[in-house]
Structure 1
């Protein structure tokens, strides 16, 4: 069974790969929009390009937030506060940390 640090590092690597892939997708959409007709109102591809840009931007925002959460969890591991709820100071259940290794709160505080 992998340690919390191993899981976090693996998750971080996967998230970095996702960010790189999304950045490449973003570049492709931007290049497509530069080459496309600038008249979105009459260009049937305009709405598709705008939708793709919005979708990729939202995915990038989520991936970057996840990366920040993982980095913060790694910092908490280093300073000895990993597994301690940031709201009540109680322990975060092992099951919660297994499912969400970067959890900041216990299940009770997360539910309220």
Structure 2
């Protein structure tokens, strides 16, 4: 990368750094470090206006998330400026090849070329469960035992016991669900028995 182009990226990164620092300061000055009760103006956290306090709590959490995200980007910008000083700016940290200018124009603090970024993301999506889970006993190990030769009470059974009383899901969150009774998996599966016939009592047989 020629010197003029490198200086253009330095100027852009310095400008972005200044904007990020201003945004972080603005969020910090909004009272994010003060107790929520004082910021909201409520006399107590336990009053008749729980919805108002809930809205304030949501806004506080959103501000913290935005500030933390800006801090992460600021660190990436500072690292990119450091790479410019060291002469390693514009090179992929994974394969060592040059990062295309189009990518640097879009993300000036990028550390990976597009191909390496896509490969890393693909590996993270297909990551298997840790092999240690097969050796660790519940409650620390995996207890959903579908597909395994086990008839014991597992995590799926526990979930079904509580899910039938309701959850945060709604029918629109589950494909094919038409009512709230359909929003958890295998709702018709017998609970506490292996086969449906095990649920029959003496009275059921006599009535038949």
Per the normalisation by structure 2, the TM-score is 0.49
Match 2:104 to one of 91, 97, 103? 97
Offset, 1:52: 0.7
Measure the CA separation in 2 of the matches of 1:14 and 1:54. 22
1:7 to 2:12 alignment: yes
Which of the pair has more CA radius of gyration?
Answer: 2
Q: Verify the 8 A CA contact 2:104 2:110 in the aligned structure 1.
A: yes
Shift in CA distance, 46/67, structure 1 to aligned 2, threshold 3 Å: same
* Structure 1, unaligned runs of 5 or more: none
Measure the CA separation in 2 of the matches of 1:87 and 1:41. 56
Superposed counterparts of 1:25-44, under 5 Å: 25=30, 27=31, 30=34, 33-34=37-38, 35-36=41-42, 37-39=44-46, 43-44=50-51
* Structure 2, unaligned runs of 5 or more: 120-208
Aligned to 2:157: none
Higher fraction of helix = 1
Q: Which structure ranks higher in relative contact order (CA pairs < 8 Å, sequence separation ≥ 6)? A: 1
Per the normalisation by structure 1, the TM-score is 0.89
Match 1:20 to one of 22, 25, 29? 25
* 3-state SS, counterpart of residue 91 of structure 2: coil
Q: How many pairs are equivalent?
A: 111
Q: Which runs of 4+ in 1 moved over 3 A?
A: 28-32
